[in-house]
Amino acid sequence: MTILNKPFTTKYNTAPFSEIKNEDFLPAFKTAIKNAKSEIDAIVDNSESPNFKNTIEALDYSGEELDRISSIFFNLNSAETNDEIQKIAQEVSPLLSEFSNDIALNEDLFKRVKVVYDSKSDLNLTTEQATLLDKKYKSFSRNGANLPDDKKEQLRAIDKELSQLKLKFGEHILAETNKFEMLLTDESELSGLPEGAKEAAKQLAESKRKEGWLITLDYPSYIPFMTYADNRSLREKLSKAFGSKGFKNDDLDNQNIVLRIANLRFKRAQLLGYKTHAHFVLEERMAETPEKVNAFLNELLEKAKPAAEKEFATLESFAKDSDGIDQLQKWDSTYYSEKLKQKLFSLDDEQLKPYFKLENVIEGAFTVAEKLFGLRFEEINSIDKYHEDVLTYKVVDKDTNLISIFYADFFPRAGKRNGAWMTSFKPQMIKNGINERPHVSIVCNFTKPTKSKPSLLTFNEVTTLFHEFGHALHGMLANTTYPSLSGTNVYWDFVELPSQILENWCYEEETLKLFATHYETNEVIPMELIEKIKASATFHEGMQTLRQLSFGMLDMAWHAGESQETITSVKHYETNAFGKTQLYPDVAENCMSTAFAHIFQGGYSSGYYSYKWAEVLDADAFEYFKEEGIFNTTVANKFKAFVLSQGGTENPMTLYKKFRGQEPKPEALLRRAGLIK
């Protein structure tokens, strides 16, 4: 038995990362699966007749050891992976897929669940219990419990293959990201780049024992180069490298994986009696159907497209007037947008970055959480970490009760995938009368400190930190009985509300004055800069909206189509899906789908629209805060009571209306975006 199979003896029951060895994982998983199976057998073999406690509740509390090991392992596979961990992931994923199918297709277990479900009107259940019962019943009926044996076997085979394909897809993207390097030895090729970005590129080259300046596909390296580098041909080279991940017909190619995943998802849905994968997924979402999602996306497209086309025409003529460019290309987009933004608002990231030292922004997020929800964050170094860069905190309420343990991991490295996300190492639940508090983590990829400067964030990175911190608050403030309904275990198109609403505070003078101080002089950010941030907030909002809609439409094309079997070209299919949203000329060497990790590796398949869906919610919700005051504790307490603490215990629209007193109106989003007056 490995350390992972024993109760942790650490303070706060945190994961003992330094004592866990890679070779512990496979045996730990096997033992935990065996133990979880025994817990399921005990439920099935119970001689008492099925009731809510001995069947539904017992089922939700089962597999706790396995869930804990899984969260530790798969978080490491995203944030601190290596060849060995990736190999274990390939071995473990089919075992987990098989185990989850063993439960979903266990006829005797389903019979017990069905007995309880069929008698629910007589059970006098709480709202949370009724939701759990409904969720448990659907977890069987939606995953093949009513299928004949031969189709159950087909389902098992599909799920096993899908779990491996998703991992392989992600491994290819990480390998592609790590493989590409653009070493520049002539300093003139860095013309336009801010000093901080040049210094970071120099430091990166030195760390790999190379002479010159190293540019990579990691966001803190890629974004500044695409935004500021004057050398157009180098921007083109970098852009094409970024856009061709998984699309080179080599051993890291993802085209066949994309086609296979889409086809298997379609077959799986059909097997379960659904028209498409999107019909299957959306049944358990606020949006309910692909038709509603497409109508939602098209309605926003109609509102945003005229503004986007106007913005694009202005950008094109600006590039032509500035540098004689006849045809604006994708690698010109951020560069000329930044130049135009500077011209219109006299504002650029380099002006703002000195006011956004990472440590200050973290402190700012903590202050916002304290003012709104009464939370205090205390950095502690007695908690084990999986990497030295990780920061660890104890989170308490005003009465010093433990609310959560919080991990924060901010800088890129070779074993970490790009992007930013929130996750957890231990869920919240109330078990045996004890309210188990969660262990929550956020992972980002911000610019590392250099020899001469601390980590200074772009404004976009500031909003990213607040976004992930919003997810973290959803996890930290969870206060439900059952783990499967706790924290971020909500409908997928509701999960982005807590993260996206928190971004709004970044634009408010009252908030910025709390933490935006110059890293050298300690001067508070000047009012004129705050006004420029607000004025530029809707800059190119039409184009940004079109971009988000294009991703949502591509997702729906892959998952709401009638059949995926006839698709032969990933690129051709994608080009058609982008038809209505395209502004820039197509780049033949590039393909979005082969690196679209959100939908082919993560959990966003048929769900990418949810970012925009949640924007409608967050704009409407923040208008309520604005009406009463952005730090109004009455509104904050309602948001905590009806949204953050409730997890998935009730239908999200019901929870939202309890908080807001009405359904959300899209006009709030369109007003904020400047698309309507």
Q: What is the mean pLDDT of residues 225-229?
A: 98
Partnered with residue 422 across adjacent β-strands are 442
pLDDT at position 602? 86
Kindly give the pairing relationship between strand 434-436 and strand 213-215.
Answer: unpaired
Q: What percent of the chain has pLDDT over 90?
A: 93
Q: What is the mean pLDDT of residues 531-555?
A: 94
User: Residue 52 above 80 pLDDT?
Assistant: yes
Residue 666 exposure: Cα atoms within 13 Å on the Cβ side: 10
Place of tokens 């017909």: 249
Kindly give the pairing relationship between strand 391-396 and strand 402-409.
Answer: antiparallel
Query: How do residues 245-261 score in pLDDT, each as one tens digit?
Result: 999 999 999 999 999 99
3-class secondary structure per residue, 489-504: CCCCCCCCHHHHHHHH
pLDDT at position 2? 93
Query: How do residues 95-140 score in pLDDT, each as one tens digit?
Result: 999 999 999 989 999 999 999 999 999 999 999 999 999 999 999 9
Place of tokens 């006009």: 667
Q: Using an 8 Å Cβ cutoff, are 196 and 450 in contact?
A: yes
Q: How confident is the model at residue 70 (pLDDT cuts 50, 70, 90)?
A: very high
Q: How far apart are CA 82 and CA 326, in angstroms?
A: 45
pLDDT at position 348? 84
Question: Which tokens in the block code for residue 100?
Answer: 């989850």
Query: How do residues 426-478 score in pLDDT, each as one tens digit?
Result: 999 999 999 999 999 999 999 899 889 999 999 999 999 999 999 999 999 99
Q: How confident is the model at residue 82 (pLDDT cuts 50, 70, 90)?
A: very high
Residue 54: burial class (beta carbons within 10 Å; 0-12, 13-18, 19+)? middle
Eight-state DSSP code of residue 390: -
Eight-state DSSP code of residue 17: G
Q: How confident is the model at residue 173 (pLDDT cuts 50, 70, 90)?
A: very high
Q: Using an 8 Å Cβ cutoff, are 479 and 435 in contact?
A: yes
Q: How far apart are CA 448 and CA 453, in angstroms?
A: 9
Q: How far apart are CA 521 and CA 650, in angstroms?
A: 49
Give the C-alpha distances (Å, rounded to integers) separating 146 from 101, 143, 150, 264: 13, 8, 12, 20
Partnered with residue 435 across adjacent β-strands are 430
Place of tokens 């989850």: 100
* Sequence-ordered list of residues with C-beta below 8 angstroms from that of 80, at least 6 positions apart, any chain: 386, 387, 413, 415, 416
* Sequence-ordered list of residues with C-beta below 8 angstroms from that of 634, at least 6 positions apart, any chain: 628
Q: Using an 8 Å Cβ cutoff, are 20 and 386 in contact?
A: no
Residue 575 carries which side chain, given as an amino acid letter? T
Eight-state DSSP code of residue 666: T
3-class secondary structure per residue, 562-626: CCCCCCCCHHHHHHHHCHHHCCCCCCCCCCCHHHCHHHHCCCCCCCCCHHHHHHHHHHHHHHHHH
Q: What is the mean pLDDT of residues 540-555?
A: 96
Query: How do residues 651-670 score in pLDDT, each as one tens digit?
Result: 999 999 999 999 998 889 88
Mean per-residue pLDDT over the chain, rounded: 96
pLDDT at position 597? 95
Q: In what helix (H) or strand (E) does residue 304 lie, and over which residues does it extend?
A: helix 290-323
Give the C-alpha distances (Å, rounded to integers) separating 225 from 198, 337, 535, 586, 647: 9, 14, 25, 21, 40
Q: How far apart are CA 85 and CA 22, in angstroms?
A: 7
Angle between helical axes of 22-44 and 107-118 (0-180°, round to 10): 60
Q: What is the mean pLDDT of residues 46-72?
A: 98
Question: Which tokens in the block code for residue 656?
Answer: 């939202």
Q: How far apart are CA 145 and CA 164, in angstroms?
A: 23
Q: How far apart are CA 409 and CA 76, in angstroms?
A: 12
pLDDT at position 492? 87
User: Residue 671 above 90 pLDDT?
Assistant: no
pLDDT at position 458? 93
pLDDT at position 469? 98
Catalytic positions: 468
Where are any strands of DSSP class E within 225-308? none
Q: Could you give all domains of the chain from N- to C-terminal order, each with its CATH number?
A: 3-146 (1.20.1050.40), 180-243 (no CATH)
Q: How confident is the model at residue 563 (pLDDT cuts 50, 70, 90)?
A: confident
Torsion angle, CA of 266/271/275/279, rounded to 10 degrees? -80
Q: What is the mean pLDDT of residues 192-217?
A: 96
Q: How far apart are CA 591 and CA 303, in angstroms?
A: 27
Question: Which tokens in the block code for residue 649?
Answer: 């215990």
Closest CA to 491 of 646, 335, 342: 646
Q: Using an 8 Å Cβ cutoff, are 28 and 2 in contact?
A: yes
Q: How far apart are CA 597 and CA 569, in angstroms?
A: 19
Where are any strands of DSSP class E within 245-343? none
Partnered with residue 182 across adjacent β-strands are 215
Angle between helical axes of 83-104 and 64-79 (0-180°, round to 10): 150
User: Residue 562 above 90 pLDDT?
Assistant: no
Query: How do residues 595-625 score in pLDDT, each as one tens digit?
Result: 999 999 988 999 999 999 999 999 999 999 9
Place of tokens 């439409």: 553
pLDDT at position 667? 86
